Homo-oligomer: A and B are copies of this chain.
Amino acid sequence: MIKIRALKVNLGDFWLEDINLDIEEGEYFIILGPTGAGKTVLLEALAGLYPISQGEIWSDGREISHLYPEKRGMGIVYQDQALFPHLSVKDNIAFGLKFMSYPREKVRERVDDMVGLLKISHLVERNPSTLSGGERQKVALARALATDPRVLLLDEPLSALDPETKEGLQGELRELHHRVKVTVIHVTHDFEEAVALGNRVAVLNEGQIVQVGTPDEVLRRPKSEFVAHFALSRNILSGRAGDGEDGYTMVDVGGIEIRAITELRDEVHLSLRPEDILISRQPLHSSARNSLSGVVADIIPRGAVIYVTVSLPLELTCLITRQSLEDLELRRGMKVWVTFKAGAVHVF
């Protein structure tokens, strides 16, 4: 368990101040904040790589604020990986094991384990400069995990990757966390990443923690404008993806079945842009494969457009124009149908 108490760090232009966090053993903890919020420095301060001005860091009941980085048992993975360019993939992964006075046999075994865990056995003899972004990130993860750290610090590990690689690696991170059970502290500016991976999320803005909670709590009751803006502009749902049929996957979201197109199964998240949802007074038979009835829960005007929240009872926010509002004569409590195409549902 990691305890951070009254941490204060000088960032030059501003301060990280009054940071208090309790992170449970084995938790996947997300620190979410916009670019320039000091997220990387916070990770480096935890790892002992950046000097702190005040405060304490405790790990498993032991204060570690004064320890050198190599004594803290924290592994770090940077956004652009920072692989050692003069070493092969294998030697990168074995780097940390050299300092543990393992016999050579043990080192080789451990490297093989890591390589197997991250499915990169075909890369071991390669030079890091020949790898793709996703491959480099897996090597960096293997290198950090090889020394069996108490805490894995991930500094925007997915944000330098192209969307496809990103999605794949996100799945692997989740699986990795299930299998290895290491405590993970992952900083990101990407809300979907936070929702997809985090057990809990801390929102960092202008040097301060403004909110801590489960992704759902943070989304439903946002205390920062950054989060509020995000929550309004996305419908984020959690559900279980079942078997597919005819190219669709049925996702059970709190008892409601939603059709989507995805390869993912079991626990998944959905997001749906408010402007992709139609509201009508009758059910629509069309190539849009989801047509659900609900009740208008709220009508929020925002300049030229209007956000309408419909309760199915799960809540979906839709974006309509003032004209539509009048045409449809929408009122709170009115029964309506919401319709959206299976292809408009983003599963992650």
Q: Which A positions have Cβ atoms within 8 angstroms of B?
A: 246-248, 261, 275-276, 278-282, 284-289, 304-305, 318-324, 327-328, 339, 341-344
10 A-B contacts, Cβ less than 8 Å apart?
A246-B321, A247-B304, A247-B322, A278-B288, A279-B286, A284-B286, A286-B339, A289-B323, A289-B324, A321-B342
Contact across chains for A287 and B247 when beta carbons are under 8 A apart: no
Question: Known: A246-B322, A247-B322, A247-B323. Is A341-B287 also a contact (CB below 8 A)?
Answer: no
Which of B246, B275, B339 lies in contact with A343, CB distance below 8 A? B275
* A245 to B: closest C-beta gap in Å: 8
> A275: which of B275, B304, B324, B341 is its contact (CB, 8 Å)?
B341
Chain B residues with Cβ below 8 Å from A327 are 285, 287
The chain B residue sitting closest to A248, CB to CB, is B323
A287:B246 contact, CB within 8 angstroms? no
**Assembly CA distance A110 to B247 (angstroms):** 64
A320, B287: Cβ atoms closer than 8 Å: yes
Q: Which secondary structure dominates chain A's binding surface?
A: mixed
Q: Which residues of B contact A339 (CB under 8 A)?
A: 286
Instruction: Name 16 extra pairs, CB < 8 A, besides A275-B343, A287-B327.
Output: A247-B322, A247-B323, A248-B323, A275-B341, A278-B288, A278-B341, A279-B286, A279-B287, A280-B286, A281-B285, A285-B327, A287-B318, A287-B321, A287-B324, A319-B343, A321-B342
Chain B residues lying within 8 Å of A247, measured Cβ to Cβ, are 304-305, 321-323
Give Cα distance in the complex from A322 to B341, angstroms: 13
* Residues in B neighbouring A304, C-beta threshold 8 A: 247, 261
B residues in contact with A284, CB < 8 Å:
278, 280, 284, 286
A275 to B261, CA, bound (A): 13
Q: How far is the CB of A85 from chain B (nearest CB, A)?
A: 25
Chain B residues, Cβ within 8 Å of A319: 343
For A330, give the chain B residue with the smallest CB separation. B287
Nearest CB to that of A304 among chain B residues? B247
- The distance in angstroms between the C-alpha atoms of A321 and B164, with both chains bound, is 21
Give the residue name and chain of the B residue nearest to A318 (CB).
B287
Tell whether, in the assembled complex, residue A328 and residue B278 are in contact, meaning their CB atoms are under 8 Å apart: no
Q: Which residue of B lies closest to A339 (CB)?
A: B286
Give complex CA distance A246, B306 in Å: 13
Which residue from B248, B276, B287, B321 sits with its C-beta under 8 Å from A289?
Answer: B321
Q: Specify the chain B residue showing the minimal Cβ separation from A308.
A: B287
Q: Which residue of B lies closest to A303 (CB)?
A: B247
Instruction: Write the chain B residue with the least CB distance to A337.
Output: B286
Closest B-chain residue to A343, C-beta based?
B275
A343 to B304, CA, bound (A): 12
In the complex, what distance in Å separates the CA atom of A341 from the CA atom of B343? 16
CA distance A279 to B287 in the complex (A): 6
**In chain B, what residue has the closest Cβ to A281?**
B285
Cβ of A101 to closest chain B Cβ, rounded Å: 50
> Bound complex: CA of A304 vs CA of B279, how far in Å?
27
In the complex, what residue of chain B is closest to A323 when comparing beta carbons? Answer: B246
Please give me the 10 A-B residue pairs with the lowest Cβ-Cβ distance, nearest first: A287-B324, A280-B286, A246-B323, A287-B320, A278-B286, A247-B304, A279-B287, A275-B343, A278-B288, A247-B321
